[in-house]
């Protein structure tokens, strides 16, 4: 049974997704930059208006809004990324079809509990993943470790992991899409380092945790949300029973990249 907050998260993520599909359909004549801006702005406006209407007492932290410090004293904070994978939203694939690896993230953080509800919509694929809906997860292939990685800026760490073990890199846009690829079993893990913000991972982590997956910082420490500085630069999402092995592999890969950094020219 889903809670009212879970139902709301799903409805808002789906609603913002419809707004984004409309923006893209109407924006054929826009430049890529203008299309990205229009999508970010329209999805943000929809989300904050709906939250103000149905949850007027809750605070909001959105990638596209000014950060209101009232959230730091709030009991309930909606952490939203109106358009994650903005770049992919504005691009076509090699067949000339609009790319579908972008997402809308809606998560609820509550004081003392952390992330309590969340939804990740993939509007280009007409699917919404939520904290109360557990899709059947395809079994692990047993082959190389299938890693979901950024298609535009794969972290340096990924190369170091690939040097230590047999991996299959699966490039795609959007943190939400990558995390959901682990939820469905398309990939074994999503490993990210080098930079991100709370809104990039809050809803994906809420959904992945509800699906029984391990989610943490790369050093295994907890992901914490609604911090004064929303910078949350790294994370790993993977099957719970391979978390220890993967965290050990990440630790060795990080040690392998560290000397190169120390010796690098300033």
Ligand X SMILES: Nc1ncnc2c1ncn2[C@@H]1O[C@H](COP(=O)(O)O)[C@@H](OP(=O)(O)O)[C@H]1O
**Annotated binding-site residue numbers for Mg(2+):** 63, 81, 83-84, 200
Q: Does 188 bind Mg ion (CB under 5 A)?
A: no
Least distance to ligand X from the beta carbon of 236, Å? Answer: 13
Contact between 64 and Mg ion by CB under 5 A: the answer reads: no
Cβ at position 32, least distance to Mg ion in Å = 17
Q: How far is residue 71's CA from residue 80's CA, in Å, rounded to a whole number?
A: 13
Q: Can you tell me the distance from the alpha carbon of 237 to that of 185, in angstroms, rounded to the nearest whole number?
A: 12
Nearer CB in complex with ligand X: 5/84: 84
Q: Does 84 engage in binding with Mg ion (CB under 5 A)?
A: yes
Beta bridge partners of 28: none
Which residue, 40 or 188, has its beta carbon nearer to Mg ion?
A: 40
- The residue whose Cβ lies closest to ligand X is 195
Q: How far apart are the first and last CA of the chain?
A: 55
Neighbours of 58 (CB within 10 A): 18
Burial track 8-31 (b if 16+ CB lie within 10 A, e otherwise): bbbbbbbbbbebbbebbeebeebe
Q: Determine contact, residues 209/222, Cβ cutoff 8 Å.
A: no
Q: What angle do CA 81, 85, 89 make, to 5 degrees?
A: 110
Q: Which is nearer to ligand X, 2 or 184 (CB)?
A: 184
Does 40 participate in binding Mg ion (rule CB under 5 A)?
A: no
144 binds, among ligand X, Mg ion, none (CB under 5 to 8 A by kind): none
Check residue 5 for interaction with Mg ion (CB under 5 A).
Answer: no
Q: Which residue lies nearest Mg ion, judged by its C-beta?
A: 84
Token code pair at residue 111? 């004081």
Q: Which residues bind ligand X (CB under 6 A)?
A: 63, 81, 84-86, 150, 152-153, 173-175, 194-196, 200
Interaction partner, residue 153 (Mg ion, ligand X, none; CB < 5-8 Å by kind): ligand X
Tell me how far, at minimum, the Cβ of 194 lies from ligand X, in Å. 4
How far apart are alpha carbons 7 and 109 in whole angstroms?
15
> Would you say 106 and 14 are in contact if contact means Cβ atoms under 8 Å apart?
no
Q: Residue 173 and residue 182: Cα distance in Å, rounded?
A: 14
Minimum distance between the CB of residue 86 and ligand X, rounded to whole angstroms? 4
Binding-site members are: 63, 81, 83-84, 200
Which chain residues interact with Mg ion by CB under 5 A?
81, 84, 200
């Amino acid at each position: 049974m889903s809670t009212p907050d879970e139902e709301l998260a799903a409805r808002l993520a789906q609603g913002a997704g419809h707004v984004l599909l409309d923006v893209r359909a109407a924006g054929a004549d826009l430049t890529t930059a203008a299309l990205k801006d229009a999508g970010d702005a329209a999805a943000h406006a929809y989300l904050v208006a709906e939250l103000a209407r149905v949850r007027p007492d809750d605070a909001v932290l959105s990638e596209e809004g000014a950060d209101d410090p009232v959230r730091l004293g709030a009991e309930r904070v909606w952490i939203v990324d109106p358009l994650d994978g903005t770049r992919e939203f504005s691009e076509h694939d090699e067949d000339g079809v609009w790319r579908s690896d972008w997402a809308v993230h809606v998560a609820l953080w509550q004081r003392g509990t952390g992330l309590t509800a969340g939804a990740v919509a993939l509007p280009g694929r007409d699917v919404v993943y939520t904290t109360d809906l557990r899709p059947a997860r395809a079994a692990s292939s047993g082959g190389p470790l299938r890693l979901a990685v950024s298609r535009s800026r794969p972290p340096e760490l990924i190369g170091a992991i690939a040097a230590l073990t047999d991996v299959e890199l699966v490039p795609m846009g959007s943190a939400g899409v990558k995390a959901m690829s682990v939820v469905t079993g398309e990939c074994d893990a999503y490993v990210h380092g080098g930079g991100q913000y709370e809104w990039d991972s809050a809803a994906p982590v809420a959904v992945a945790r509800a699906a029984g997956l391990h989610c943490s910082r790369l050093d295994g420490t907890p992901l914490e949300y609604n911090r004064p500085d929303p910078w949350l630069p790294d994370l790993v999402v993977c099957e719970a029973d391979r978390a220890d092995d993967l965290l050990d592999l990440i630790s060795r890969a990080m040690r392998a990249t560290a000397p190169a950094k120390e010796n690098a020219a300033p």
